[in-house]
Structure 1
Amino acid sequence: MVKQLFSLLVFSITVVNCQNSGNLEVVADLPSNLKETSGMALYGDKLWLIEDSGNKDDITQINLDGKINKEFEVKNAKNHDWEDLTKDTAGNLYIGDFGNNYSDRDDLVIYKLPNPETEPGDKIDAEKIEFSYPNQKEIPAKKKDRHFDAEAFFHWGNSLYIITKNRARPYDGKTFVFKVPDSKGEYEASLVTTWITCKDAGTCSITSADISADGKKIALLSYGFVWIITDFSLDDFTKGTITKLDLGTRSQLESVIFYDNNTLLLSDEKSHGEGGNLYKYRLN
């Protein structure tokens, strides 16, 4: 009887941990003290994570099994609303502090950090890449013009490509792609293109982005879908071949990165007792 109860308990736990994961393979539970993970970057077999607004000015390194290795306080930086991570080929790490729900910020910044894998101690320096949007006419923007939140970016060449998250009401599906240099300074971002993802506010707003190491695929994430773009040229990658994939889940997915050229790692926030996981998704 005890053995039967134990088997039932194990089965129940497995079902709970995997519920609503859809087409995603659960790799690990994220640490319980990282409930609002908003960005990831992969260095070898280690992940660096950040959390969004209201959390510490820290980056945290974990193993792929979810165990924390170390944590750095980011000097000269403030977590106003950290929303995504990316890195360049030299190993520099970039924090996108561009969360802007009401399109009312005039202090948008990307923090550039040296390679965290080689830094000693428990603090890491940050340089500021400050920027503004050339097509935002009013701060704060009216509800119908709230197109200047962002939760997604990636690095390529000597530039950072920022993809905005639509918060306009009524919702119009409009997403902007901007470009800024990857070096310290103050810039007016360049508007690359305007793209209509789709017209459902719940699933069409972009929450994270990444480009594969070979530069041949771009992944754009939302709450339940991922857009894979191939056969593109930069700057305007939206003119490439776009495939929209249903992930089979509607959790609060906030981060996507390429594990390899054909595999994605994703994470979601812990909400209502669900989520807070690291997932794997294999591309065909």
Structure 2
Amino acid sequence: MKRSLIRLLSTGVLAAVAIASEGASAAVELPDLAPKRLLPSAKLEGPPHTREVSGIVASKQWPGVFWLHNDSGDETRIYPMRRDGSMITSARGDDRPGVLVGGVINSDWEAIAADASGHIIIGDVGNNSNGRRDLALHYVVEPEPTAGFTGLLKSVFVRYPEQKEWPAPKHDFNYDCEGIFTVGDTVYFVTKRRSDSLARLYRLDHPKTGVVNTLEIVADFDVRGRATAADATLDGRRLVVLTYTAIWMFESTAPGRDDWFDGSVWWLPFEGAPGAEGVCFDGTDTILVAAEEGNGHLYAVNTASLHKVR
């Protein structure tokens, strides 16, 4: 769905519209608000603290467990954490934390998701150079949190339909992704664009192994920055998109639809969480933000503190 409709908001505020290369994209006018300083709710233990936290997702199999991962440079590990930031000890021992994933490499792990069928999906979709042709989702059966090892179930390779050159030219540097999420078993991508301030949403339908799957463009929204993470509630009704300086929350107009950018919008500018590159819902009313630069903290944000802007 490529939106071209300019909406007149019920409040009488006209939504701004930015024209992207693939059509029109919506944006809302924002109030003049000072950034809210986020206060840490937990200190991360172990390697997610000392390295670069790039993703977090709530387990759908183990209540109270959250899976985190690091950027390139770490081993191919995912880390089971509790809400208080403490790490669940691996069967390999305290000095070998995390669940080691066999059969893959960490080219640039930037996102993580959990689907309805019991899989953890690792997004090896970081693409700072906009030149990668091996962007992939790695599926593993969600391990028991104390497991030391798990094996790769499958890898699904993807491409963006509008990318025609590798690397992309500087005026079209829009094919990096740091946010994936699921609704049921469907995987969505939110790209971190560098030639504008949009977040572009894509959907992966009927993923196949052994081929490069072409993503489907769903919609654009102007998030006034670069999208660094995304997640949806279990029912798929709410979507959160994180940038380095703001939290955006969208609500679909009806269950089962991927029209979040058409529905209600909430926004919260923030400071105090440098390098914020991980976000997930904890239930429907709490958003967890993980920051990677220097502090290794989790930040809990109640959705009631966000400002409704549409």
TM-score by length of 1: 0.83
Of 220, 224, 243, 1:194 maps to: 220
- Gaps of at least 5 residues in structure 2 are 1-34, 91-97, 305-310
Task: Name the stretch that deviates more: 240-249 or 126-135.
Answer: 240-249
How far 1:237 sits from its partner (Å)?
A: 2.2
Of 80, 86, 89, 1:67 maps to: 86
Q: Which has the higher helix share?
A: 1
- Counterpart position of 1:131: 158
- Counterpart position of 1:5: none
- In the TM superposition, 1:64-213 aligns within 5 A as 64-69=83-88, 70=90, 71-117=98-144, 120-168=147-195, 172-181=196-205, 183-185=207-209, 186=211, 187-198=213-224, 204-213=225-234
Gap change, CA 1:189 and 1:243, over 3 Å in 2: same
Percentage of identical aligned residues: 29
For the Cα contact (< 8 Å) 1:158–1:182, is it kept in 2?
no
RMSD: 2.0
- Counterpart position of 1:270: 293
Counterpart-to-counterpart distance in 1, 2:87 and 2:252 = 38
Q: Secondary structure at the match of 1:144?
A: helix
User: Are 1:260 and 2:300 an aligned pair?
Assistant: no
Counterpart-to-counterpart distance in 1, 2:289 and 2:223 = 20
- The one-letter amino acid of 1:256's match is V
Counterpart-to-counterpart distance in 1, 2:125 and 2:143 = 21
Counterpart-to-counterpart distance in 1, 2:262 and 2:129 = 29
How far 1:96 sits from its partner (Å)?
A: 0.7
For the Cα contact (< 8 Å) 2:140–2:152, is it kept in 1?
yes
For the Cα contact (< 8 Å) 1:160–1:182, is it kept in 2?
no
Gap change, CA 1:184 and 1:51, over 3 Å in 2: farther
The alignment of Structure 1 onto Structure 2 pairs a total of residues equal to 253
Of 41, 44, 59, 2:57 maps to: 41
- Counterpart position of 2:248: 227
- The one-letter amino acid of 1:58's match is R
User: Are 1:24 and 2:45 an aligned pair?
Assistant: no
How far 1:121 sits from its partner (Å)?
A: 4.7
TM-score by length of 2: 0.76
- Counterpart position of 1:240: 263
Residues 79-118 of structure 1 show CA distances to partners (whole Å, capped at 9, x for unaligned) of 1111111111232111111000121100000111112227
Gap change, CA 1:126 and 1:119, over 3 Å in 2: farther
For the Cα contact (< 8 Å) 2:117–2:185, is it kept in 1?
no
Counterpart-to-counterpart distance in 1, 2:115 and 2:146 = 16
Counterpart-to-counterpart distance in 2, 1:253 and 1:121 = 28
- The one-letter amino acid of 1:261's match is T
How far 1:221 sits from its partner (Å)?
A: 0.3
Counterpart-to-counterpart distance in 2, 1:118 and 1:181 = 29
- The one-letter amino acid of 1:280's match is A
Task: Name the stretch that deviates more: 41-50 or 183-192.
Answer: 183-192
